[in-house]
A and B are shown apart, each in its own frame.
Chain A
Amino acid sequence: MKRIFTKFSVLTFLCFLFNYTAFAQNITVKGTVTDGGDKTTIPAVSVQVKGTTTGAQTDVNGNYSISAPANATLVFTYIGYTTQEVPVNNRTTINIVLASSAQQLDQVVVVGYGTQRKIDVTGSVATVKGEEISKQASVNPVSALQGKVAGVSISNNGAPGAAPLITIRGTGTVYGNTGVLYVVDGVWHDDISFLNPADIESISILKDASSLSIYGIRAANGVVLVTTTRGKKGDAIINYNGSVGVQSVTNAVKMANGTEYATAINEINASKTPPDAPLFKDPASFGKGTDWYGQILRNAMVNNHQLSISGGGEKTSYNFSLGYLNQDGIVERNNYKRYTARLANDFQVLKPLKVGYNVSGTASNSNDIPNSIFYQMYSAGPVVPVRYADGTYGDPNDFGLGGGANFNPQATLDFFNRKSKNYKVTGNVYAELNILKSLTFKTSIGGDFGQAEVRNYNQVYVATASQRNETSELGVDRTEDRNWIIENTLTYKNIFGDHNLTVLAGQTAQRRKSYTINALARNVPYSSEGDLYLALGDSDNRYINDSGVLTTAASYFGRVNYSFKDRYLLNASMRADGASQFFGGGELWGYFPSIGAGWVVTNEPFMKDQKVFSNLKLRGSWGKVGNAGVPVNPSTLVITQKGGYVAYFNGVSYTGKNIDTMVPTFLNWERSSGTDIGLEAGFLDNRLNIEADYYTKTTQQAIFEIPVLSSIGLGNSKQIGNQADFRNRGFEFVASWRDKTEGGLTYSISGNFGYNQNKVMKVVTGQNPVYSGGEGLANGSLPTRTMVGRPVGEFFGYQVAGIFQNKAEIASSAQTGAKPGDFKYIDTNGDGQISEKDRVPLGNPNPKFNYGLNTSFAYKNFDLAVDIQGVAGVDVYNANIGLRFGNENFTQDFFKNRWHGEGSSNTYPSTNVGSTENARPNSFYVESGAYIRLRNVQLGYTLPAGLLSKWKMQKVRVFANAQNAINLFGYKGFSPEVGKPTVGNYSPLRAGVDANVYPLYATYNLGVNVTF
């Protein structure tokens, strides 16, 4: 211990403060702790001298050493195993075999405001251990959950540093904050991209309404509880994890080459009435042309390093970690760096009083890329060279490309200069006091302080005829978040004979404030980054603006967990939340009860002799949750003051203000109530475990923005209110098998499967649908519809019967204005004309099936993990095909299959696919979004222990892993995983519309774990 501490003076100081002296006349007991099932050694098992606070911990090889009185009793405890007590009896070597209690009695799960024995849980809570997360190549901890948990759907966004989209048990809310709540050591967050995945001890995903309702106010979309690592008693453990990897585009979509592009554009021109002259005289002369994806995309490096030191003495424990991530984007120039530091300390100040803190700092910065670059790579003409022989940029104007392809993506990228920086300090301090033996009071104050800065500089340049800028602009946006949360809980825990009772009462208060300031100045010079100050720009025509959000909440909650003989379980909770959002003209307080019951059948006497089940539990629960993630003061009418209302008289500006909104006179909380019925069973000595759940969750009075009569003249002709009900219903199934063969192979295989059905039950507009999804799509068409009896945001449009082959066919159809090569739509209502009345549902963007298969194998010094993940029963709207303004490029698939003359195709239209009629939302653009992928493969080798002791190391493991190496899907776009859009805000009303064209990529890493 001393050896380490001399190296780390800060820790030395902290630890010496609370150091202790060990007992004198003791003997040293050594031994190894192994798993009774697979016979592997178990690290980090707590070894304690019974009745004292003396303790130690097993090292990575399962070895421990403890000084104890010769007549003492040692207590061995480890999560997931049955605790053992062994008298020392003068022995100096005691080897212990711990019986696994996996899925059994003593396994503990983190739940809201506490922990519960797994067996006592009556709701649906999934736990993912930190080691499973850190074994993935994901740099975002949420991404690492993909495929791990039944009922949790995760869509990644390819941009480095971007948060993935996570949906738990279907879309239940569509307005305001539709994201899940992350609770990191008691502090609430909307996003945990700032977390170093290696700092995570465990993640609990609360899925059913009864588990969630203790987080009432913000629980409607699910809660993810993150517990970070803390020091454990024992010698300091220094751990280094490092990996270096490469990210490489997979499943790239081939675009038409130069000749194909020129041919296609000539066909567009020929299709006009009267036909335009061909733009390209000799398409063949262009050959392959420029492959813009090849030009702009690259194999990108990613470096990840983490160092942690943890340990503890009798009265203190500490955990300190540093992390560094340097990730290049697959687009040239794109880079993301993240620095993280965490420090956690716990002090047993007095026998009944424990205090501690946990603070983490994150700094990240990125060199950004323009959002338009993906669209530009897709659209740019391959006939345009990147550069001419003289080094100047290839100019689309020289080729007459004009609208839709009027850019050279390389120039766009080269003159883009935006940097983002994020700083965040978050953490909490707590005190835990055992007032009585069975009564514990805990208070915790948490804070979250963040600053985000975006600096954008648009320099003066001339790249091509239309890519130029004559006036430089420097824009600075800065957002500050200042949040705090206070929690006080009182827990009473006692056992009266066969009765096991836990009672929790608590209170919390929180305040969240966010403030953004934006400024812009023109004609800012640039000789170095040091010039980029607003002050150096023009003093007139500067622009400044700001905005802010402030919310507060006060909450009270209580929970009772009762079990009788570990057979009959009863859990009940109640939470009351007051939210400032609803102050004045709203229902200020929301109340969220829950109840759950369980029956552990295997603990019944009559089950004693049966051999089939090693565990069997039935459970059912019901609960209510709320969503206060709505705009602040939704029922306070405010004045609209905006630039568009500024009047000019004699050239001078005058402020304009007026009232152009309408607010509901009263707003209720959006509430969901849900029921979950589950079964857990273990067979064959718990080697086989299954867990099945059926659930239904109904969101009532969902806060929903509905269109109002535009003749009322509101600014956006919309009003929010409690105006819709949604239901998600489904089932989940998890089966896992874990064993060790005679030959020494330890392995586990776990499969999970979730089915969800989403349906709109009620909208105040009655049968009137709410259309959406037009953002970023050509011709302002709205491809999604939300209406009663259908899934939220389903795709809606015309059904394509085929392609018009000739004029005669058109003349005899309902689309007399069509041209050969156009879509032939089905006149579904048979009125002899094609109109909006002929539109039909085309597909569902809400995935019906999510599944994952996670396996791990260990043989001697080798370990292997293979994870497969997929979704099915989901559709994607490929908006990229019809999004045409002029001479955009086509995919090679489209080019090869296009209609180009009678009989050439009856499925793909002509190159005139961007015309008004062809671009209307229709079945051609809707494709299956099902995919299956090799999510993660990791092969590791642990160096033999003998070798290491020479180097004074405890463990060295080298590994190689691959993420998303194999992806199978039928979708013709870049990736069926359509996450958040690159432009605009995400809304479940327009999910699954692919206008992103963000390519999918795989990551390959080589790494090493070293423990000293």
Chain B
Amino acid sequence: MRIYKNINLHKVCAVLITGTILFSTSCKKSFLNVDPQGKQPAVTFWKTQQDAIDGVSSIYGNLRSWSNVGFNSLAVESLGGDDAEKGSSSNDASYLNAFNDFTVTSTDGQVSGFWEGQYQNVNLCNQVLDNVPAINMDPNLKARLLAEAKFVRAFAYFRLVRAFGAVPLRLNVPKTPAEFNLPRTPKEQVWAAIEKDLDDAAAVLPASYPAKDLGRVTKGAALSLRAKAAMYQKKWSEVLTLTNSVMTMGYSLFPNFDDLFRINNENNSESIFELQCEYNPGIKDASNSQYAQIQGIRTQAGYWGFNVPTQELVDAFETGDPRKEATILFVGTTTPQGDPITANPGDPSRYNHKAYVPFNTPYDNANPRGGQQNVRVLRYSEVLLMNAEAANELGNSTQAISSLELVRARARQGNPGILPKVVSTDQAVLRNAIYKERFVELAMESDRYFDVIRQGRAATVFGPRGWKTGKNEVWPIPNNEIELSANMLTQNPGY
């Protein structure tokens, strides 16, 4: 008790109150100004060359996303075709059947996911195209990076216009309220924008890169996609010119059709554009391609077995065509890598061989299995087939036959007893031969559905499954998007 007598009460008061006042005054704005934690403010971005490089890297990386290579894209771009059907076990994701029997409605999650995913690509490209020009950096590199972004933007719009027809065309990051809500741009203008982006890109992009840049888009890729865009518009002479020039760029068909799709043959001489995927568990979510996981063999842990070949595809191959086994993995067989393909009751009896990843390929439980499988987008054989189709449409059967034969010859793999050379010069006969060659050569590569529609044969080929002229040429515009646009967007007919 005594010790406290020396303490002066007034001193105690003074200390407490002074402390409080000092503290209160320190609580000015600076105390409340807290920096974002672990997040870089956007105002610091788009200043340096590295920012430009990182921005373009994000564009490439995003092409592996779920909506770009997963359910969304497989539903919208593959399941409608007669080469593919849902697969997996019957109840699992049974909503995907709607793409096979054409009962898709405007509230379908795959349609809206695909739409959103492609516009995510568009946004990433627009951010680069809007912001990189002002960066003070190596002008050649800048031009190339912008060209790469233009290619991917064109690729996204190509996928959108093919799936939906007219879509809102965004060529800039929206800034004003008027730019947010855009109506659908007529599809001719969308095609024109795609062509312009690809022309711009082709003018700048190199034909090839040093090894360290392997996987970036090339001039050949821009020209090939440009040709494909022209083909969808039946601009046959453009297709012919463009494919002719790609055919002089040094691409060649990979000798073995089966090996073409294996991981160790990625980016080979036939590859024009493929999505670069890796197994890289040191970075979270960077091994995120689910392309192979979704389509893999169900008896293997982590594989789901969707998007499987149909009986129609089995029947489409000519007798002895080695591409049949290279495209379709039949249950009960063993792969060249020695993996036995088995099934439990209820499992599919066929799988997409082109998405097959040998079982001993490294994986873990934290990442999708088969995440290292690149997705082949444009192959040289497609350029040859576009060339053949264009030449035939323009009446040049000689060139058509010659380009077609290059594809068939590779498929033959030196076996003279199979896949005889197509010799007919009759335009209609040749046209059907080319159509059929496209079917089997590019089966399970997300082209068949749109090819048949483009060729005007969908009512015949898909009609029995419910495809209706005047409606099913395109998928519905997502209903949620129409609601959010306050009906600025209109629905496709029939939905």
Bound-complex Cα distance A276 to B90 (A): 10
Stretch among A395-403, A842-850, A868-876, A940-948 lining the B interface: A395-403
A713 B481 Cβ-Cβ under 8 A: no
A650 B213 Cβ-Cβ under 8 A: yes
On whether A402 and B344 interact (CB within 8 A), knowing A543-B281, A645-B62, the answer reads yes
Q: Mark A261-289, 1 if CB is under 8 A from B, else 0.
A: 00000001100100011010000000000
B121 A713 Cβ-Cβ under 8 A: yes
**Residues of A with C-beta under 8 A to B32:** 552-554, 578-580, 583, 588
Tell me the residues in window 62-100 of chain B with beta carbons closer than 8 Å to chain A beta carbons: 62, 64-65, 88-95, 97-98
* B240 touches A (CB below 8 Å): no
* A205 touches B (CB below 8 Å): no
On whether A656 and B61 interact (CB within 8 A), knowing A443-B19, A639-B42, A641-B40, the answer reads yes
* A20 touches B (CB below 8 Å): yes
**Residues of B with C-beta under 8 A to A547:** 37-38
- By beta carbon, the residue of chain B nearest A767 is B483
Q: Mark B276-312, 1 if CB is under 8 A from A, else 0.
A: 1110111111111000000000110100000000000
**Residues of A with C-beta under 8 A to B93:** 779, 885
Bound-complex Cα distance A279 to B343 (A): 13
On whether A402 and B55 interact (CB within 8 A), knowing A543-B282, A659-B42, the answer reads no
CB of B59 to closest CB in A, whole Å:
7
**Residues of A with C-beta under 8 A to B89:** 402-404, 885-887
- By beta carbon, the residue of chain A nearest B479 is A836
Most B CB within 10 A of own CB, among A443, A469, A640, A657: A657
**Residues of B with C-beta under 8 A to A548:** 37-38
On whether A709 and B55 interact (CB within 8 A), knowing A543-B283, A886-B91, A916-B98, the answer reads no
* A658 touches B (CB below 8 Å): yes
A465 B121 Cβ-Cβ under 8 A: no
CB of B114 to closest CB in A, whole Å:
10
Tell me the residues in window 97-116 of chain B with beta carbons closer than 8 Å to chain A beta carbons: 97-98, 103, 105-107, 109, 112, 115-116
**Residues of A with C-beta under 8 A to B280:** 541, 646, 648, 653
**Residues of B with C-beta under 8 A to A435:** 13
B92 A648 Cβ-Cβ under 8 A: no
* A861 touches B (CB below 8 Å): no
A404 B92 Cβ-Cβ under 8 A: yes
* A550 touches B (CB below 8 Å): yes
Bound-complex Cα distance A886 to B89 (A): 6
Bound-complex Cα distance A580 to B32 (A): 4
Bound-complex Cα distance A592 to B245 (A): 72
* Band of interface residues on B: 35 or more
- By beta carbon, the residue of chain A nearest B1 is A20
A643 B285 Cβ-Cβ under 8 A: yes
* B478 touches A (CB below 8 Å): yes
**Residues of B with C-beta under 8 A to A643:** 283-288
Q: How many residues of A contact B (CB 8 A)?
A: 109
**Residues of A with C-beta under 8 A to B256:** none
- By beta carbon, the residue of chain A nearest B214 is A650
Tell me the residues in window 697-720 of chain A with beta carbons closer than 8 Å to chain B beta carbons: 707-715, 717
A656 is contacted by which of B58, B97, B478 (Cβ under 8 Å)? B58
B213 is contacted by which of A638, A649, A916 (Cβ under 8 Å)? A649
B107 A836 Cβ-Cβ under 8 A: yes
* A52 touches B (CB below 8 Å): no
Stretch among B122-130, B219-227, B396-404 lining the A interface: B122-130
**Residues of B with C-beta under 8 A to A683:** none
Q: Mark A544-558, 1 if CB is under 8 A from B, else 0.
A: 011111111110000
A647 B57 Cβ-Cβ under 8 A: yes
Bound-complex Cα distance A32 to B287 (A): 76
Bound-complex Cα distance A466 to B89 (A): 15
CB of A718 to closest CB in B, whole Å:
11
Q: Mark B30-46, 1 if CB is under 8 A from A, else 0.
A: 01111111111111110
- By beta carbon, the residue of chain A nearest B46 is A659
Bound-complex Cα distance A817 to B119 (A): 33
Bound-complex Cα distance A741 to B477 (A): 75
**Residues of B with C-beta under 8 A to A707:** 480, 484
**Residues of B with C-beta under 8 A to A712:** 119, 123, 170, 174, 180
Bound-complex Cα distance A542 to B128 (A): 31
**Residues of B with C-beta under 8 A to A660:** 120, 123-124, 127
B301 is contacted by which of A443, A468, A552, A647 (Cβ under 8 Å)? A468
A352 B9 Cβ-Cβ under 8 A: yes
Most A CB within 10 A of own CB, among B31, B180, B347, B478: B31
CB of A631 to closest CB in B, whole Å:
10
**Residues of B with C-beta under 8 A to A549:** 37
On whether A509 and B23 interact (CB within 8 A), knowing A653-B280, A884-B91, the answer reads yes
A473 B364 Cβ-Cβ under 8 A: yes
CB of A370 to closest CB in B, whole Å:
12
* B485 touches A (CB below 8 Å): yes
* B176 touches A (CB below 8 Å): no
- By beta carbon, the residue of chain B nearest A467 is B301
B37 A713 Cβ-Cβ under 8 A: no
* B168 touches A (CB below 8 Å): yes
Tell me the residues in window 661-713 of chain A with beta carbons closer than 8 Å to chain B beta carbons: 707-713
Tell me the residues in window 248-281 of chain B with beta carbons closer than 8 Å to chain A beta carbons: 276-278, 280-281
CB of A784 to closest CB in B, whole Å:
15
B90 is contacted by which of A20, A272, A468, A583 (Cβ under 8 Å)? A272
Bound-complex Cα distance A194 to B485 (A): 48
* A172 touches B (CB below 8 Å): no
Tell me the residues in window 768-798 of chain A with beta carbons closer than 8 Å to chain B beta carbons: 768, 779-780
* A389 touches B (CB below 8 Å): no
A657 B58 Cβ-Cβ under 8 A: yes
Bound-complex Cα distance A256 to B34 (A): 57
* B60 touches A (CB below 8 Å): yes
- By beta carbon, the residue of chain A nearest B210 is A650
- By beta carbon, the residue of chain A nearest B282 is A541
Q: Mark A526-550, 1 if CB is under 8 A from B, else 0.
A: 0000000000000011110111111
A522 B119 Cβ-Cβ under 8 A: no
* A295 touches B (CB below 8 Å): no
* A93 touches B (CB below 8 Å): no
Bound-complex Cα distance A580 to B215 (A): 44
On whether A886 and B92 interact (CB within 8 A), knowing A543-B282, A649-B276, A768-B484, the answer reads yes
**Residues of B with C-beta under 8 A to A468:** 301
- By beta carbon, the residue of chain B nearest A475 is B366
* B468 touches A (CB below 8 Å): no
On whether A914 and B91 interact (CB within 8 A), knowing A400-B346, A473-B364, the answer reads yes
CB of A895 to closest CB in B, whole Å:
17
B43 A402 Cβ-Cβ under 8 A: no
Bound-complex Cα distance A547 to B37 (A): 7
**Residues of A with C-beta under 8 A to B106:** 836
Q: Mark A448-459, 1 if CB is under 8 A from B, else 0.
A: 000000000010
Tell me the residues in window 3-36 of chain A with beta carbons closer than 8 Å to chain B beta carbons: 20
B299 A835 Cβ-Cβ under 8 A: no
B212 A652 Cβ-Cβ under 8 A: yes
On whether A780 and B109 interact (CB within 8 A), knowing A402-B347, A714-B123, the answer reads yes
* A858 touches B (CB below 8 Å): no
B479 A644 Cβ-Cβ under 8 A: no
Q: Mark A701-745, 1 if CB is under 8 A from B, else 0.
A: 000000111111111010000000000000000000000000000
B9 A717 Cβ-Cβ under 8 A: no
6 nearest A-B residue pairs (beta carbon):
A713-B123, A643-B285, A656-B58, A403-B89, A643-B286, A647-B60
* Contacts A353-B9, A653-B286 supplied; 18 other A-B pairs, CB < 8 Å: A268-B91, A350-B4, A350-B12, A402-B89, A403-B88, A404-B92, A471-B365, A473-B365, A522-B281, A541-B282, A636-B41, A646-B57, A656-B54, A656-B61, A658-B54, A660-B120, A715-B120, A768-B484
**Can you name 25 A-B residue pairings with CB atoms under 8 Å?**
A349-B4, A353-B12, A403-B89, A403-B91, A404-B89, A441-B16, A468-B301, A541-B282, A554-B32, A583-B32, A632-B36, A646-B57, A646-B283, A647-B56, A647-B276, A649-B60, A653-B283, A657-B54, A658-B127, A660-B124, A710-B116, A711-B115, A712-B123, A887-B89, A887-B346
